[in-house]
Amino acid sequence: MIERIVIENFKSLRRVELSLGSLNLFIGTNASGKSNFFDALRLLQGLCHGFTVNEVLDGKPRSDTSEVWDAIRGGSIRACFANAATSTEIGISVSGHLHGNSGDRWEYAVRLLPTSGRITQESLTVGDLIFDSAPVSTNSSDAAIQVKYYKGNRGTPPHRHFERSRSVLSQMTRGQGDIRQKHAESALQVARMLSNTQRVDPSPAILRGYSQAHHIRRMGEHGENFAALVKTLSEDPATKDAYLAWLRQLRPAEVDDVGVLSGALGEPLFMLKEGGTQFPAQVLSDGTLRFAAIAAAFFQPDMPGILTIEELENGIHAGRVRLLVELLRSRANAGDTQIMATTHSPIVLAWLKPEEYRTTFFCKRSEVTGESHIQPLSEIPHFNEVVQRQPIADLFSEGWLEAAL
């Protein structure tokens, strides 16, 4: 889990430093910086997958031998903070603990030039410092980046050369040359943690269709193969019962069962059964389908390390938003998946617990500088006193939060 993140000079985020938890909510008006924060997570994800800087920012088309990667919004041209006075580098630093608080502390930092597609600085600590490029004087135009590799021995650490267009972290996972096995394994552990991110933005049009697969362990970003995932979940009675329990709270009528119907070639189609009647996905409301897909994402056999949801209340009836908050809270407390979600709904805020204000972040963008400010509710001046007298949903709806920040 990422416990702390610092983002510098990326899009509207000139400098943002946040302490994160298991469940993190981002609120604010449109174009306030919420999506840019999620794009920073995607930047990390792509670098840790081993894509080049250019591929991460500008996209990589599918080929016979490689994985496809969608470009980050705006590409490399709009990657840097527009009003940066001098620096054209993007910097991201993340840290946490492996296997909970009892594990080794890890920290990974990277700086890059989007204009040339090159890494300029990078370092990794897992318990002890493993590598660091900062003490090494290297021209950023060189094809290779030099790092000091701390092998755990006494004396001056040797310099090692790595390809500059990709992260050193992803290259070190291969364990080539004299890289010690434990360091390659530590690098792989951190790289997997940061690259194992899933974006969930279900599209009702896709959810209403037949799945192309019969069994899957993780559905697509927009709900691709949703029915196949439900079919997989239904094969485990305990998982199916837990999933069905959430769906029963959503629907006004009693839900008897959840499962799939089969097409001509056996392809699965999502179905709910109420009052003995089967209701296929095509006749279910957008809100029901979207909630069903989001709930299914939390029961996937292949759970991500980080799960992001934008505008989580989209399509959900106001009377069922509380259920959505309870679902996120429950799944965040139950597993190892860190949840990041955006919302425009004051109703979502109304159901937050006071201890969740620390990881609920208000985003505001300056009309003068274009810089986004992101601050936890608990640190907004006078918030803790004012929220005792006035509901947080009202503070959000009436613009008090924006004025205070």
pLDDT at 153 over 80: no
The 10s digit of each residue's pLDDT in 213-234 is 998 999 999 999 999 999 999 9
Give the residue from 166, 196, 226 where a domain finishes.
Answer: 196
Residue 287, SS3 per DSSP: helix
pTM: 0.91
Q: Which domain holds residue 23?
A: 4-196
Residue 22, SS3 per DSSP: coil
CATH number for the domain including 309? 3.40.50
Same domain, 228 and 306: yes
The gap from C-alpha 30 to its chain's centroid, in whole angstroms, comes to 19
Do residues 121 and 110 lie in contact, with contact meaning Cβ atoms separated by under 8 Å? Answer: yes
Do residues 22 and 96 lie in contact, with contact meaning Cβ atoms separated by under 8 Å? Answer: no
Distance CA 120, CA 144 (A): 10
> According to the model, what pLDDT value does residue 66 have?
60
Please report whether residue 8 resides in a domain: yes
Same domain, 278 and 152: no
Classify burial at 344, counting beta carbons within 10 Å of its beta carbon; exposed 0-12, middle 13-18, buried 19 or more.
Answer: middle
Distance CA 197, CA 338 (A): 9
The arithmetic mean of pLDDT across residues 255-267, rounded, is 91
Contact partners, residue 211, CB within 8 Å, separation at least 6: 224, 225, 226, 227, 228, 229, 231, 267, 268, 269
Closest CA to 98 of 198, 169, 189: 189
pLDDT at 85 over 60: no
Q: Residue 2: how many CB atoms within 10 A of its CB?
A: 22
Contact partners, residue 257, CB within 8 Å, separation at least 6: 244, 272, 273
pLDDT at 67 over 80: no
Please report whether residue 178 resides in a domain: yes
Closest CA to 134 of 88, 77, 93, 186: 93
Same domain, 141 and 155: yes
What are the C-alpha distances in Å from 69 to residues 60, 63, 111, 203, 370?
A: 5, 11, 21, 20, 28
What are the C-alpha distances in Å from 15 to residues 29, 42, 80, 91, 244?
A: 19, 17, 11, 9, 43
The 10s digit of each residue's pLDDT in 12-62 is 999 999 999 999 999 988 889 999 999 999 999 999 999 999 999 999 887
Same domain, 163 and 298: no
Do residues 103 and 96 lie in contact, with contact meaning Cβ atoms separated by under 8 Å? Answer: no
Share of the chain above pLDDT 70, in %: 94
- Output 52 or 64, whichever has higher pLDDT: 52
Dihedral, 277, 280, 285, 287 alpha carbons, nearest 10: 110
Q: How many domains does the chain have?
A: 2
Same domain, 184 and 210: no
Classify burial at 71, counting beta carbons within 10 Å of its beta carbon; exposed 0-12, middle 13-18, buried 19 or more.
Answer: middle
Please report whether residue 376 resides in a domain: no
> According to the model, what pLDDT value does residue 158 have?
77
Dihedral, 307, 193, 236, 206 alpha carbons, nearest 10: 40
Please report whether residue 52 resides in a domain: yes
Same domain, 165 and 73: yes
> According to the model, what pLDDT value does residue 395 have?
86
Question: How high does pLDDT run on average in the chain?
Answer: 89
What percent helix, strand, coil does the chain show, rounded to 5?
A: 30, 25, 40
Same domain, 185 and 216: no
Give the residue from 351, 370, 400 where a domain finishes.
Answer: 351
The 10s digit of each residue's pLDDT in 233-252 is 999 999 999 999 999 988 87
> According to the model, what pLDDT value does residue 119 have?
94
